[in-house]
Structure 1
Amino acid sequence: MHTKSSGNSSSFWKQFSGRIWIAILGICLVAVLLTACFESGSGSNADSGEVVIGLTDAESNFVKYEVDVVSLTLTKANGAVVNALPLATRVDFAQYVEMTEFLTVATVPVGRYIKATLTLDYQSADIQAENADGNAVPVETILDEDGLPITTLELAVHLQGIKSLVIAPGIPAHLTLDFDLHASNHVTFDNGQPTLTVKPSLMADVNPENPKIHRLRGPLKEVNVAESSFQVVIRPFIHVISGGDERFGTLKVVTDSNTFYDINGEQYRGIDGLGVLNQQQVLTAVVVIGDLNIALRRFEAEQVYAGSSVPGGALDVVTGNVIRRIANQLTVKGAVLIRAQGSVVFNDEMVIQLGDNTTVSRHLSRDPFGINDLSVGQRISVFGLLNNDESELDATEGHVRMQLTTIKGTVVSTDSSVIVNLTAFNGRNIQLFDFTGTGSGGNDAVASNYEVDPGSLDISGLETGAPVKFRGFVTPFGHAAEIADFEARTMVNVSEVKGVMIVTWPSPSSNAITPFSTNGLLLNLVGSEPFHHLNRAGVVVDLTQLGDPPFIEPKDEGTGLFQIVQDGSRQFYFTFDSFVEELTQRLENNGEVSHILTTGTFNDTNSILTSKLIIVGLK
């Protein structure tokens, strides 16, 4: 099965009772008031500033979640509305994990903004959910919370108090909007056919302390070797990468001696790579991966890809995870294909043919690699020629780039290495992966006893049974018995990650929440469905399975952004005391709880979530 989309233009939790849940899919919009350090192609004056806007999501079990983003607006305190999106943009959010993509640079009038609104069009949505067997199933039925078909969906977040967005000349402002699909969507399967129910929720984070890694895509505008920088015309997502149209704006990229370059299939580092980039023609296709430096207000490049090294050039490109290998034939799952002419195709599975002339490289490395380095689980991008029915890619004269691979599971033991009970590679169910041949003499890798070499990573905080994620590379094919199965570069101890908790009561209840003055809120999960979960970095906890009922407490200072939504109105409180006082009074006056949404750190031992953001819905 495959679907196509024009070049112009979540996870659900599987329960073997037949219910699947949508895990986090975040849309993060990072707004930065630009100064000379963070240059774009548009000017600004005392009456306006420039805002860089990006989109992202987090790991989900969606195979595909493609919708049209038709508008993004910011509303000022005086009621004025600014449209920050120059063109409707089709986005497959399932493909943007652990990364933010720059969407546009917009000129915004100075002032205080109190609301951000995102509009999605589902009329031509292409959404595919993974069933219990790990296969992609198209979602044809998409409903709102009232059971009515969705055409367009408007999501709004109110920016008040400490969450206010103030834009003034020369003063940088940063805003992250999180459209959290795990808190907004529910998928059920009936006789194998999925139904998606959407209850939208949008949250905001002003001045993010740790912005995600960013991706910038578009034609090259100019290179300044003396300043170790270059400029790119923004072409987000699947917009055609050629041409000089600057409606989405331009962005300056800063490089240094560690910046890695892959230009027309050749690798460079530092000033040598910038010099080669300077030799490329204006409007050459470029993709940049790097960090948004909030303090210095600039985008710093870690990786730069240009020319034929960018998908959509002279060759077809497939990206996905290897689920099996037989001799020189790979099977790739969740294959996203970018055709040489620029169109995008999705195939749940695709066959890759390798040969002696296939060249291989690895993320951020100039070391030599070969086809024997490609093993089961590894995430790859393959450059080659697609056959007529788009089921097989011939890379016998092509190139394979090994990408950073994400594994997820629970800790079995820690010693010199970490043994993990694997649950997924890049979000795909571990049951899909055939490890035959990964070792020697039949001693292949085993998912329930998967050995990770942590290198110099600090693993002292890992405990047996704790959820964990690693990013790195799979051991070469046939060598799993001799060395560790996986070489880790980074680690996420999920227990230390801020999570998002959502609980809904379809029949509103007066007993759902018990306020305890300044101490916190005790939740009663009786009657809660379909949402009663906590999601941390794609690892989901069913709150009904905890030993103790969940308890939500404020941060030590007792301040934050707390909201009560009732009868179409929204009331804001900036201290937990005032919030609890009002909530208690409304519950005593026959108010009933319909939902609660909160974010914060969660203690698995005592089921306590500590938060500075709580939203309670009452009927």
Structure 2
Amino acid sequence: MQMERDLFAAWRTCVALLLALTLSACGSGSSNSNGGRNDGVRSSSTEAVVAPCSTSDEEPASERCGQLYIGLTDLEGDFIRYQVDIGSLRLQRFDGSWFEVLPPATSVDFVQYRDRTELVTTATLPLGNYVRGEITLDYSEADIRVDVDGFAERARVAFADGRKVRTVMLDLELDPLRPVVIVPDIPALLELDFNLRAANSVDTEILPPEVTLFPVVSAENDPLLPKPFRMRGPLIGVDEKQVSFRIALRPFFRDSGRLGGVDIEIRGDTDWEINGERFSGSSGLSALAELPGGIATLAFGVFDRSRRSFIADLVYVGSSVPGDSLDTVKGHVLAREGNLLTIIGAQLIRTDGSVSFHDELELLLAANTPVSVPRFPLRQEITRAISVGQRIAALGHWDSDLLRLNVDDGRVRLLPTTLDTFLNSRIDDVLNVTALEFGGRDALLFDYRGTGTDEAVDADPDAYQVDISVLDVDPLAVGTPLRFHGYVNSFGRAPPDFGAIGLQDFSESGAQFLVSWIAGGSDIPFLTLDASGLTVNLAPDLLGADHIIRRGAVITDLRSLIRVPQLQPVPEEEGGLYVLAEDDIIVMYSDFGDFVTDLNRRLIDGALVQRLFAEGGYVSGAGFMTVNGVTVLLNR
């Protein structure tokens, strides 16, 4: 960790020299609106042409250019679907020149990125220090849905003053201590986080439900703990000596465009599915090398910060990629009757390139439909493995007349499933819990008939049994909020009902703190505010609708606590991002003291605080909450 921090410090020391070299080689460092563009990267100022830094399938051809990986993620919110268009994304260099890094009208459902980051481009940019960004969001064709009594109702979106939301343009002022530094041969990483919880207030008491938008997006340079990545695009080539392959990025479900080339490394345990056939490690890479360039790929993996490289643990190729030659449905199994499944919250990916949402649809299995478990190549399953609550991806053929997916010549994948609960009791390695949500949908919606070895032991959400035998779990207090990751037990084979392979500890991370104040905001929102932390003011006459701590699906009203926790920043070496949003300007800090200084200045200058969101670790009854992120939304 210290070595990486020293490296970053060295980069910052060299920024001035890099800028001087760049500007002396390129004149003013600006370009006209058509210069330097190839598939999504251009400068938008109006002076002399800069070095030929064009995004392409290849590494930068000029020593005056470097690369920037841009990832997009979301912090979970109260939404089943949140699809809007990213109209544009551009970055400003220290000398004032702007460079666009994404093509216009990129449609994104942010709900799909709660637990991962989509690598959206590998942009080639002139060397230098990038200090600001600008992003445009288009809500004119937005599809935003929230759960109302178990149904995915489409919501209306408006600003706090009642105006309908159409286009939002946000100015992102990057952390002054950690600007994006583009240097040769060492790619930078910028992660954009669309914090739906902080940016939206949902009212489901009226129909259609209403969403009040408080626009905020954060951008973090080289996050210490980036989420797992998703990378999609056509194959460029295979390098078996370097144990890697290269793709041209085509993010989300775009059917055209190439947003930069990226090398993806593999390991001995990388799991592959290529045109329906399973491989492992280097055997998959060898099989990939036999295929033509341009074949579809989809990879999941992690970013190695020290080596600046992506490493895949799961790769799909060809017909195994959803929507390539087989229609695909992703969602949770709501009910099962024989081989007929009802899927809730379904994403339908068609071979014609379309992607649509269905709150419920049917899926018909064949008796011999292959069932696999990605990342577990040795698990051989049959259709009985698909049970209620399980998240799946099914590949087959869509019947437009019956509105049903047939998988008679397709296949089904069991995907990791998120289960939110609180603890009732424990006997050895089996926890008795109250099941609250599967993947964000109320567990009471699901039809558990047929899940048990007989009717008397069908799964019961009030007494749901979770097997934790593969985990090392310390003693837990009754009522503890728990979030499991794993797989529902086979249909007709419960109990236990669920096999956990992971458990989130909300005392360390993932707890969410949200407070809103009266309409327009409060001028006395804090009881304490200094570099050591802050304490919110919960005076009843000042509060708005939100005043909670959320741990998974367990929500605690802050007014019910004996002690309201002080929000304390994590140690500097553990990273942290602290955000101020006022009007359409968003300012980011990695230093909590700098954040507090700016916030105090704005309050003295007359700003009002509308909302505060924080994320970190919280222990019930504690007088503090350690946070690695705080977002404060201000109003004048």
| TM-score, normalization by structure 1 | 0.85
Quote the Cα distance in structure 1 between the aligned partners of 2:425 and 2:184. 54
Q: Report the equivalent of 2:535.
A: 522
Tell whether the 8 Å contact from 1:267 to 1:366 is kept in structure 2 after alignment.
no
Is 1:224 paired with 2:236?
no
Quote the Cα distance in structure 1 between the aligned partners of 2:339 and 2:280. 31
Tell whether the 8 Å contact from 1:595 to 1:618 is kept in structure 2 after alignment.
no
* 1:44 CA drift (Å): 5.0
Match of 2:321 among 302, 306, 310: 310
Distance 1:44-1:384 versus aligned 2 partners, 3 A rule? same
Deviations 1:312-339 (A, max 9, x none): 1332211111111111211111111111
Quote the Cα distance in structure 1 between the aligned partners of 2:585 and 2:184. 33
Q: Report the equivalent of 2:72.
A: 55
- The one-letter code of the counterpart of 1:340 is T
Pairs within 5 Å for 1:398-547:
398-414=410-426, 415-442=428-455, 443-460=457-474, 462-481=476-495, 484-505=496-517, 506-515=519-528, 520-525=533-538, 526=540, 527-535=542-550, 540-547=555-562
Quote the Cα distance in structure 2 between the aligned partners of 1:581 and 1:367. 55
* 1:46 CA drift (Å): 3.8
* 1:598 CA drift (Å): 4.1
Q: Report the equivalent of 1:155.
A: 170
Deviations 1:531-576 (A, max 9, x none): 3344556765443333323423345679987677779988998876
Tell whether the 8 Å contact from 2:78 to 2:197 is kept in structure 1 after alignment.
no
Pairs within 5 Å for 1:231-246:
231-240=246-255, 245-246=257-258
Identity of aligned residues (%): 36
Pairs within 5 Å for 1:79-158:
79-131=96-148, 133-139=149-155, 141-158=156-173
Q: Report the equivalent of 2:342.
A: 331
Is 1:377 paired with 2:389?
yes
Distance 1:600-1:45 versus aligned 2 partners, 3 A rule? farther
Distance 1:530-1:115 versus aligned 2 partners, 3 A rule? farther
Deviations 1:254-298 (A, max 9, x none): 112111111111111112221221222221111111111111111
CA RMSD of aligned residues (A): 3.0
Tell whether the 8 Å contact from 1:497 to 1:536 is kept in structure 2 after alignment.
no
Give 3-state SS (helix, strand or coil) of 2:545's partner.
coil
Give 3-state SS (helix, strand or coil) of 2:283's partner.
helix
Give 3-state SS (helix, strand or coil) of 1:201's partner.
coil
Quote the Cα distance in structure 2 between the aligned partners of 1:306 and 1:573. 40
Give 3-state SS (helix, strand or coil) of 2:268's partner.
coil
Quote the Cα distance in structure 2 between the aligned partners of 1:614 and 1:548. 20
Quote the Cα distance in structure 2 between the aligned partners of 1:387 and 1:435. 27
Pairs within 5 Å for 1:292-307:
292-307=303-318
Quote the Cα distance in structure 1 between the aligned partners of 2:183 and 2:509. 33
Distance 1:455-1:587 versus aligned 2 partners, 3 A rule? same
Give 3-state SS (helix, strand or coil) of 2:293's partner.
coil
Pairs within 5 Å for 1:233-382:
233-240=248-255, 245-246=257-258, 248-364=259-375, 365-382=377-394
Distance 1:198-1:618 versus aligned 2 partners, 3 A rule? closer
* 1:507 CA drift (Å): 4.5
Gap regions ≥5 residues in structure 1: 1-38
Q: Report the equivalent of 1:27.
A: none
Is 1:608 paired with 2:619?
no
Tell whether the 8 Å contact from 2:119 to 2:229 is kept in structure 1 after alignment.
yes
Quote the Cα distance in structure 2 between the aligned partners of 1:254 and 1:342. 28
- The one-letter code of the counterpart of 1:504 is S
Match of 1:70 among 60, 69, 87: 87
Q: Report the equivalent of 1:179.
A: 194
Q: Report the equivalent of 2:23.
A: none
- The one-letter code of the counterpart of 1:479 is R
Quote the Cα distance in structure 2 between the aligned partners of 1:404 and 1:303. 13
Deviations 1:431-487 (A, max 9, x none): 211111100221111112222112332211643222221111111111103xx2111
Tell whether the 8 Å contact from 1:162 to 1:560 is kept in structure 2 after alignment.
no
* 1:577 CA drift (Å): 6.4
Distance 1:438-1:292 versus aligned 2 partners, 3 A rule? same
Deviations 1:358-406 (A, max 9, x none): 2221222243211111111111111222222462122233311111111
Give 3-state SS (helix, strand or coil) of 1:182's partner.
helix
* 1:200 CA drift (Å): 1.1
Tell whether the 8 Å contact from 1:334 to 1:349 is kept in structure 2 after alignment.
yes
Tell whether the 8 Å contact from 2:328 to 2:396 is kept in structure 1 after alignment.
yes
- The one-letter code of the counterpart of 1:464 is V
Quote the Cα distance in structure 1 between the aligned partners of 2:158 and 2:462. 38
- The one-letter code of the counterpart of 2:313 is E
Distance 1:315-1:169 versus aligned 2 partners, 3 A rule? closer
Q: Report the equivalent of 1:3.
A: none
Quote the Cα distance in structure 2 between the aligned partners of 1:350 and 1:561. 40
* 1:608 CA drift (Å): 1.9
Tell whether the 8 Å contact from 1:102 to 1:216 is kept in structure 2 after alignment.
yes
Distance 1:236-1:390 versus aligned 2 partners, 3 A rule? farther
* 1:97 CA drift (Å): 2.9
- The one-letter code of the counterpart of 2:103 is P
Quote the Cα distance in structure 2 between the aligned partners of 1:158 and 1:69. 18
Give 3-state SS (helix, strand or coil) of 1:529's partner.
strand
Quote the Cα distance in structure 2 between the aligned partners of 1:253 and 1:499. 33
Quote the Cα distance in structure 1 between the aligned partners of 2:282 and 2:579. 51
Give 3-state SS (helix, strand or coil) of 1:148's partner.
coil
Tell whether the 8 Å contact from 1:59 to 1:537 is kept in structure 2 after alignment.
no
Q: Aligned pairs, how many?
A: 573
Quote the Cα distance in structure 1 between the aligned partners of 2:294 and 2:604. 65
Quote the Cα distance in structure 2 between the aligned partners of 1:234 and 1:582. 38
- The one-letter code of the counterpart of 2:621 is T
Distance 1:356-1:551 versus aligned 2 partners, 3 A rule? same
Give 3-state SS (helix, strand or coil) of 1:258's partner.
strand
* 1:299 CA drift (Å): 1.0
Which structure has greater helix proportion?
2
Distance 1:80-1:499 versus aligned 2 partners, 3 A rule? farther
Q: Report the equivalent of 1:35.
A: none
Distance 1:615-1:282 versus aligned 2 partners, 3 A rule? closer
Structure 1 window deviating more from structure 2 (554-563 vs 442-451): it is 554-563
Distance 1:360-1:586 versus aligned 2 partners, 3 A rule? closer
Distance 1:207-1:218 versus aligned 2 partners, 3 A rule? closer
Give 3-state SS (helix, strand or coil) of 2:379's partner.
coil
Quote the Cα distance in structure 2 between the aligned partners of 1:340 and 1:194. 33
Quote the Cα distance in structure 2 between the aligned partners of 1:376 and 1:473. 10
